[in-house]
């Protein structure tokens, strides 16, 4: 039977999961807490990484290499780039890129380093499960490119750069680093985000206001997916 990792970046992103799961067992490891649990008979391991690409890479690696997870689902919030994404809307990544990875001084494209990839696709089968769950629950699910960077974006200029350079629909601070880890370790992965703000000059206030409610929307959807995964 498969063991499913569920990751968030912040405590608020995993608390709604911990409230719903059974047989919780806390494991302290590498300066973090991992929660082994079951949900509807499925084995899962839950953790939040802390914010940013480095912490997210560490946590994703540990979930796979130490806990033996063979699928990884990320649940959390994002800033909207597309004007049709409103607070609370759900978006799944079909691929992810690192908007702050920049060695353009050497003639390389934004988001690229030699032997790396600008864009990493998520697992198609998991995306299909998400679409089926959305349909069953009458929920709208957007799909698009998610751009990741070690910056909280609260500027229309930065947001337009990310939009035009990467054609991205939403942005956050962990997805692409999880993608790098899962791609290298050949573990199917899925990134879901509910919108908390529009990455503009009101983003900090919106984020504080909507973090909890949007994180809950994402977490509840992820649990429905765990149930639906074969
Ligand atoms: N996650 C949620 N909102 C964000 C923003 N504006 N920038 C970066 N990450 C985010």
List, for residues 195-209, the tens digit of each pLDDT value: 999 999 999 999 999
Tens-place pLDDT, residues 72-128: 999 999 999 999 999 999 999 999 999 999 999 999 999 999 999 999 999 999 999
pLDDT of residue 3 exceeding 90: yes
CA of 215 to the centre of ligand 1 (A): 12
pLDDT of residue 1 exceeding 90: no
Q: Whose CA is nearest to atom 9 of ligand 1?
A: 172
Each residue of 75-104: b (16+ CB within 10 Å) or e?
bbbbbbbbeebebebbbbbbbbbbbbbeee
Mean pLDDT of the region 35-54: 98
Of 207, 209, 210, 215, the one to substitute when testing ligand 1's pocket (max ligand atoms within 8 A of C-beta) is 207
pLDDT of residue 61 exceeding 90: yes
SS3 38: strand
Percent of the chain with pLDDT over 70: 100
Q: What is the mean pLDDT of the chain?
A: 98
pLDDT at 48: 99
Q: Whose CA is nearest to atom 2 of ligand 1?
A: 78
Active-site residue among 13, 89, 172, 206? 13
pLDDT at 37: 98
CA of 229 to the centre of ligand 1 (A): 28
Strands (DSSP E) contained in 19-123 are: 22-29, 32-39, 42-48, 71-80, 90-98, 120-121
pLDDT at 102: 98
pLDDT of residue 138 exceeding 90: yes
78 vs 199: CA distance, rounded Å: 9
| Domains of the chain, CATH where assigned | 3-228 (3.40.50.1580)
Q: Catalytic annotation on 150?
A: no
The verdict on pTM exceeding 0.95 is yes
Tokens matching residue 9: 């970046």
Q: Whose CA is nearest to atom 1 of ligand 1?
A: 78
CA of 59 to the centre of ligand 1 (A): 19
Backbone angles phi, psi at 113, to 5 degrees: -125, 150
Mean pLDDT of the region 167-193: 99
Tens-place pLDDT, residues 18-40: 999 999 999 999 999 999 999 99
pLDDT of residue 144 exceeding 90: yes
195 vs 6: CA distance, rounded Å: 19
CA of 42 to the centre of ligand 1 (A): 31
Place of tokens 């990751």: 7
Active-site residue among 12, 174, 197, 206? 197
């Amino acid at each position: 039977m498969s063991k499913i990792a569920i990751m968030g970046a912040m405590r608020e992103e995993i608390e709604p999961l911990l409230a719903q799961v059974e047989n919780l067992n806390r494991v302290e490891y590498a300066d973090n807490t991992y929660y082994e649990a079951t949900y509807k008979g499925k084995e899962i391991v839950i953790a939040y990484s802390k914010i940013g690409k480095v912490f997210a890479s560490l946590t994703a690696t540990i979930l796979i290499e130490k806990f033996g997870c063979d699928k990884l689902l990320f649940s959390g919030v994002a800033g909207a780039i597309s004007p049709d994404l409103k607070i609370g809307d759900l978006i799944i990544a079909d691929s992810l890129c690192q908007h702050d990875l920049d060695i353009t001084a050497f003639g390389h494209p934004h988001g690229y380093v030699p032997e790396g990839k600008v864009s990493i696709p998520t697992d198609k089968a998991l995306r299909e499960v998400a679409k089926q769950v959305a349909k069953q629950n009458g929920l709208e699910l957007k799909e698009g490119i998610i751009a990741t960077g070690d910056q909280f974006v609260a500027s229309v200029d930065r947001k337009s750069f990310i939009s035009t350079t990467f054609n991205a629909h939403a942005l956050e601070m962990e997805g692409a680093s999880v993608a790098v880890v899962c791609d290298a370790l050949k573990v199917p992965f899925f990134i879901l985000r509910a919108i908390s703000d529009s990455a503009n000059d009101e983003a900090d206030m919106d984020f504080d206001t909507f973090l909890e409610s949007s994180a809950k929307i994402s977490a509840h959807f992820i649990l429905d997916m765990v149930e639906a995964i074969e």
